[in-house]
Structure 1
């Protein structure tokens, strides 16, 4: 018997093998499927996917043998990765000086061997896809071609594993960063609300108790009040955006549709500025009530704020099919320019439009709305005509 020699690039080759994280892993169906296929195509009782480790041949998939590793110095695959040709074939190991007294030949009757090196994109030979038989033989052209094709597929599975691991790591890092960002936003927003509310209260008090101030001074106080109110709304918006994840975790329940709309109307239109009409044949909906309320309140609030008509008209529709609820909110407001429709759902995206109260939006409400709708398994879309109004349509997936 002749033990296989060590490749000249063994240190880097070994590092490449270890980079896939496959050594000492359990059997996996996707690899076992390949050995099963190649066993049938080659009519061979033994089919293996091997990785050449430092002192052993680890069998990631082993059809036809009871073990999942063997010493490297007796492995056929150790010789195969040293071949210049992509495939090594031993028609009768009993007549080959390298294998005639090999334990695999004597104890497991491994007479015939055909192995294709598993070569990664850097050119390192990681192991083999191979078959054994208990009698002398060879492979036909079709069998050789399939063996080589499936070897490439094995390497693709190796690479896919690495990519999946990298994606999982990236996802975990993003989730951790997002949680930290949520905590930061919540803490900062909470800590800012108190001094902002104090500023608003003090400016109101200052204005009430100092009516003899000059016109310019009173104007400065008005500016301070408006800026403080804008900052408070901004802080509230940030808090709602990050707290939306909490309401998404709430259970669904049966909700009377008319009562739902009335609740939303009282919150979004406390001053009864709008004529809000519901058009629906449904009496009840089975939904996450808190989440849908947040969506509807945001849409109703925008429909009222960005409206220049003497009579604000908002029409709401709701229908269903087997899989979804379909919602529609249409207003007769100022409309949205076509060029801006693609960006209105972006977080902190502002269009530079002043609402009926003289304020600019903070770019958080519609981002929150889209986030909630998406997490509820639906989609939200918008269509608009300048000067005539806007229609938001969204879906919510049923269980």
Structure 2
């Protein structure tokens, strides 16, 4: 049995069907909801969402019928797609000369007697398939029911187009993840390769100063000092980059219970503070459960910034922990430093963004620390924010998911 005709734009129509890359399954609740509604609105027991391909018609959703696909030459939906009309109705196939000898009408245990298909037309007027209702007896639809089916068919097309967009987004995401991994690997490799030459430069300048100091004038010594300072600055920059790429990936399963105050004391010891500074830790200690290494790196960066970007004779840093919330721990790090201008507060968590040209020690910041902090806090299921006033200080607040 052959179709009486095929659409005039069949090559373009088939290309359009192929471009949507729909999966051949019937487990999408969004499509199934539409066939449920179609049956409910028309009071007809069977509804299908069909996709008409070159040789096959397959069904994205099937309500009331256990069917996955059909030969295109036998499918009523093929007639609907080939028709000049957008709504194709056969009220009684047993009396229709086109279908009277059709195997689905003549020989089937449950014959198709009534068929109403609304074409699924995309934005380019390509008929992708149909939303159809099927009965095993003669039936009719009123104008309101037909209009409702047309509205539902538009929703089907929107779902198909949304599926295409989501597929593209997933593909783009996979490509970005792959490129990101390549960039991380490249940055890490370059950083590692640069560390040894820099170490040699620093060591060489120290040897030159020690061994040939009597033969070098003050200007020459200043050059050596500049070389060493620049090398140390670049080495610090590289270490921060490695820190950003290697340590900002947090294993959420690698969590332990530990004393918050003890961690703070260890961080303060690591910093080996040489300036006049008072750090106030919480009066009451709490055990918290999170990734200890990640929290240590967060606190190291925040306290270091409070030390570096401070112009007061005595640096004061207050650290507080709130554990009352059922889902989150909240940590604040407050200082009396130089503060952050309001227009820069939104940018400070971006990679390579800096507030000042140099810190209190004359060193130029690289804008990596706070971006690492934000990345780590996000990985730990929390958020970070800052409140600051120029000349008065800053308060960084972040949450950690329990």
* TM-score bin, normalised by smaller chain: over 0.9
Spell out, residue by residue over 1:182-226, the C-alpha distance to the aligned partner (whole angstroms, 9 max, x if none).
Answer: 111111111111110111111122122233322221121121111
Q: 1:300 to 1:70 in 2, by over 3 A?
A: same
TM-score (norm 2): 0.94
1:351 aligns with 2:351: no
SS at match of 2:119: strand
1:382 aligns with 2:386: yes
Q: Is the 8 A contact 1:247 1:290 kept in 2?
A: no
Q: How far apart, in 2, do the equivalents of 1:251 and 1:23 lie?
A: 37
Within the candidate set 378, 396, 401, 1:397 is matched to: 401
1:314 aligns with 2:317: yes
Q: 1:2 to 1:358 in 2, by over 3 A?
A: closer
Q: Is the 8 A contact 1:5 1:78 kept in 2?
A: no
Structure 1 residue 90: Cα displacement: 1.5
Q: How far apart, in 2, do the equivalents of 1:340 and 1:273 lie?
A: 28
Structure 1 residue 335: Cα displacement: 1.3
Q: Is the 8 A contact 1:330 1:390 kept in 2?
A: yes
Instruction: Give runs of aligned pairs for residues 76-115 of structure 1, distance below 5 A.
Output: 76-106=76-106, 107=108, 108-115=110-117
Within the candidate set 332, 338, 348, 1:334 is matched to: 338
Spell out, residue by residue over 1:25-61, the C-alpha distance to the aligned partner (whole angstroms, 9 max, x if none).
Answer: 4543322222122112211122111111112221222
Tell me the equivalent position of 2:374: 370
Structure 1 residue 146: Cα displacement: 1.7
Calculate the aligned-residue CA RMSD, in Å: 1.7
Q: 1:266 to 1:250 in 2, by over 3 A?
A: farther
Instruction: Give runs of aligned pairs for residues 210-249 of structure 1, distance below 5 A.
Output: 210-212=212-214, 213-249=216-252
Q: Is the 8 A contact 2:315 2:337 kept in 1?
A: yes
Q: Is the 8 A contact 2:58 2:68 kept in 1?
A: yes
Spell out, residue by residue over 1:59-86, the C-alpha distance to the aligned partner (whole angstroms, 9 max, x if none).
Answer: 2222233332222222221121233332
Q: Is the 8 A contact 1:282 1:319 kept in 2?
A: no
Q: Kindly tell me the number of residue pairs found equivalent between the two proteins.
A: 398
SS at match of 1:167: helix
TM-score (norm 1): 0.95
Q: Is the 8 A contact 1:2 1:97 kept in 2?
A: no
Q: How far apart, in 2, do the equivalents of 1:85 and 1:76 lie?
A: 14
**Structure 2: tracts of 5 or more residues without a match:** none
1:286 aligns with 2:289: yes
SS at match of 1:101: coil
SS at match of 2:213: coil
Q: How far apart, in 1, do the equivalents of 2:283 and 2:57 lie?
A: 69
